[in-house]
Copies of this chain bind each other. A is one copy, B any other.
Amino acid sequence: MKRLIEKIAETKAPIVVGLDSLLDYIPQHIKEQAMAENENPFDAAAQAIITYNKAIIDAICDIVPAIKPQAAYYELYSWQGMKALYETIQYAESKGMVVITDGKRNDIGSTMTAYAAAHLGTTDVCGKTVEAFGADCLTVNGYLGSDGIKPLLGICNEKNKGIFVLVKTSNPSSGELQDQMIGEKSVYETMAGMCEGWGAETTNHYGYSAVGAVVGATYPAQLKEMREKAPHTFFLVPGYGAQGGGANDVKDAFDANGLGAIINNSRGILTAWKKAGTDGHDFAEQARKAALAMREDINSVIPEIKLPQ
């Protein structure tokens, strides 16, 4: 979380580019070349994805602090897709970017230990210690309570990693369970309280713990409420752009230093070339332009970003 906050302050960009590896987002010429060079469709898909992702990373790594690959879109292309995920993470790290793997993982304690090692830690294979995926942060679901979160806290402290727990998600039906009231508190507020509790067991980074929360841009009132009630919890905010959220919807997620939140944009950046009406040969340039426009948009409504003294 410390590195993420410092990168945000350095780039003045509280934004993360969601690398959703849907082939539909990738220009035709990249896919055609990959299909020509690979017989197996998943090998071709993986090659197209990694070619595309590397170009996007090259185009944005100096102006955007982080990427957020969505695991589902890599699993969609089988183990070859997961190989593309691994290579994407390694490449982004080599360019100094912070990587948030969006996996929304959750399970009982022993199994979460495996997820924590897989995505944030290391794996021991017969005496050799190796990194399975090597991200910096992982999104998780707290439905199982503390057992499912505690195995992650140790890795957060030891290896300077972070997690983002689902609190109030951006989708239309998120309220079916999350808005239900448990006594005086909603389910999402209860979950945010649990995040503050878990966070207290981790290192403090400029006032924030290593336990962040996912709160959707599509629910600005809840975002404001949670910023007040969970002051040590850094927010990962999806829902800006394609899902309907704008800069004004997310402004209350930030603190007086312009920190406290990072806003995700996937489709708006990845398919900027489509919106520009090009054939996609300029997809990386269009992605950079869209990221710069988003940075300006967000900065226009939040306090100037600076690290607290």
Task: List chain A positions with a Cβ less than 8 A from chain B.
Answer: 20, 22-23, 31, 35, 41-42, 44-45, 70, 72-73, 75-83, 85-86, 104-109, 111-112, 114-115, 117-119, 123, 125-126, 128, 130, 132-133, 141-148, 166, 169-178, 180-183, 187, 190-191, 194, 238, 243
State the CA gap A23–B105 with chains docked (Å): 21
B residues in contact with A174, CB < 8 Å:
144-145, 147
B residues in contact with A171, CB < 8 Å:
108-109, 144-145, 147-148
Closest 3 CB pairs of A and B: A145-B176, A145-B173, A41-B125
A126 to chain B, nearest CB (A): 5
Cβ-neighbour of A76 out of B86, B117, B238 (below 8 A): B117
State the CA gap A179–B114 with chains docked (Å): 26
Query: Provided the pairs A108-B170, A125-B42, A180-B182 are in contact, do residues A76 and B132 lie with their beta carbons within 8 angstroms?
Result: yes
State the CA gap A126–B77 with chains docked (Å): 12
Cβ-neighbour of A130 out of B41, B106, B112 (below 8 A): B41
Cβ-neighbour of A172 out of B70, B72, B147 (below 8 A): B147
State the CA gap A119–B22 with chains docked (Å): 16
B residues in contact with A170, CB < 8 Å:
108
Extra contacts, 19 of them, besides A44-B125, A79-B79 (Cβ < 8 A), are A41-B125, A45-B125, A70-B114, A72-B105, A75-B132, A78-B86, A78-B118, A78-B123, A78-B130, A78-B133, A108-B169, A143-B177, A144-B166, A145-B176, A146-B173, A147-B173, A177-B187, A181-B183, A182-B182
Cβ-neighbour of A104 out of B106, B146, B172 (below 8 A): B106
Cβ-neighbour of A114 out of B73, B182, B194 (below 8 A): B73
B residues in contact with A143, CB < 8 Å:
141, 143, 166, 169, 177-178
Do A75 and B133 touch across chains, with their CB atoms under 8 A apart?
A: yes
State the CA gap A191–B148 with chains docked (Å): 19
11 A/B residue pairs, CB under 8 Å, sorted by A: A31-B126, A72-B114, A73-B111, A75-B118, A75-B132, A76-B118, A104-B141, A145-B171, A176-B194, A180-B187, A181-B182
B residues in contact with A81, CB < 8 Å:
132
Cβ-neighbour of A178 out of B78, B108, B145, B146 (below 8 A): B145
Do B126 and A35 touch across chains, with their CB atoms under 8 A apart?
A: yes
B residues in contact with A20, CB < 8 Å:
111
Closest to A22 in B: B114
B residues in contact with A45, CB < 8 Å:
123, 125
Closest to A149 in B: B173
Do B108 and A106 touch across chains, with their CB atoms under 8 A apart?
A: no
Query: Provided the pairs A117-B76, A174-B145 are in contact, do residues A132 and B42 lie with their beta carbons within 8 angstroms?
Result: yes
Closest to A21 in B: B114
